[in-house]
């Protein structure tokens, strides 16, 4: 991600500070609190933000999401890299509706291998654009919250925000 055409922006959300990266094709990465920055990402962030229409649009859409006014994102999202399997999982994640969840095993079954639940989990963990590609909507078959790159507290908050889980007691 160390190219001059990538820019960064950040917004303050109920989760804390989100850092967004975009290139000319769309959002390339979103970093949630609890996820460390790589050195190349810190350099991009240190360059400062210019006017980047995709970043501005994403910030606006995320603010609307956190305010409860947006359920679908229209900003172009172009996660870089990933294996074919990871990209297939990410495409399925986008199909999980707001306010709903799916199990890792259910996605594995859709992909044609009901024993690939752990592989689905690893692919979701590698998702570079959480929230836009809603990996937080994946749960254990028994309804338990398992795995989330930026921590289960963030996953729980996102699911509660979407009314996909009862509020924590």
Token pair of 58, please? 């994403």
CA R_g for the chain:
16
Distances, alpha carbon 11 to alpha carbons 16, 18, 31, 82, 98, in Å: 8, 5, 11, 26, 21
- Give 35's contacts (C-beta < 8 A, 6+ positions apart): 149, 150
Interior/surface letters 56-86, b for 16+ CB within 10 angstroms, e for the rest: ebbbebbeebbeeeeeebebebebeeeeeeb
- Residue of 28, 116, 135, 149 with catalytic role: 135
135 is catalytic: yes
Residues annotated as catalytic are: 135
């Amino acid at each position: 991600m160390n190219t001059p055409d990538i820019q960064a922006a950040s917004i303050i959300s109920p989760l804390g500070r989100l850092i967004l990266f975009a290139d000319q094709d769309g959002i390339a990465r979103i970093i949630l609190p609890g996820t460390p920055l790589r050195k190349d990402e810190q350099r991009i962030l240190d360059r400062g933000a210019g006017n980047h229409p995709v970043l501005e649009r994403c910030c606006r859409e995320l603010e609307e999401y956190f305010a409860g006014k947006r359920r679908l994102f229209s900003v172009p999202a172009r996660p870089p890299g990933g294996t074919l399997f990871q990209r297939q999982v990410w495409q399925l994640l986008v199909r999980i509706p707001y306010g709903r969840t799916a199990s890792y095993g259910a996605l594995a079954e859709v992909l044609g291998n009901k024993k690939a639940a752990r592989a689905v989990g690893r692919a979701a963990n590698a998702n570079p654009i959480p929230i836009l590609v809603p990996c937080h909507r994946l749960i254990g078959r028994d309804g338990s919250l398992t795995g989330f790159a930026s921590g289960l507290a963030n996953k729980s908050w996102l699911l509660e925000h979407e009314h996909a889980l009862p509020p924590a007691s």
